[in-house]
Structure 1
Amino acid sequence: MNFFFFFFFFFGLVSLIYIRKHLLLCLLSLEFIVLSLLLMVFNICLSFQFFYMYIVFMTFFVCEGVLGLSILVNMIRFHGNDYLNSIYLW
């Protein structure tokens, strides 16, 4: 069963590496990685009766998702698209 979670994590990393054109697709890949990590943490918390750590991790992952969506909305407002090549960091 743990191999299944590592497969999810590896598939999310591969999709993050190969899909780097749009910010939305990168955020979806990151959320897939976060979902696999959350499933791993849930599996560990289920075996050790340690459920409050699961709530803490879930809170951090939700905050990470909201932060990513706010960056996406601001980027579309200021640049008009979500291409990562249109960002100038200089």
Structure 2
Amino acid sequence: MKLPQDWFRADLEDKERYGKELNLEMLPGHFLFSKSIEVYAHRDDATDDILCRHIDSDDLYTVVHLTWSMRPEIDNVHPTVEFHGSYEEFLQYNSKLFN
């Protein structure tokens, strides 16, 4: 699948780095806590957004805005879920951000 211009497919190192931070930030009760996901892509270095693919679903993705606090967050709303839906819906969501 082709990613939007400002997104980059996560390589193994990216998956480990972003995934580690995501798991560190999430508290029980967070929308993604205990879900089977993998970091699929990340936006360019100017943002802290990652695109996660749900492993147990054919076409389900979530955009998460990491805080890079390097510790668990203060509540289960952070890191913030910016988008949740199909890949086509992700493309539509992303295009609306820049129009």
Normalised to the residue count of structure 1, the TM-score between the two structures is 0.27
More strand by share: 2
Q: Using CA pairs below 8 Å that are at least 6 residues apart, which structure has the higher relative contact order?
A: 1
Normalised to the residue count of structure 2, the TM-score between the two structures is 0.25
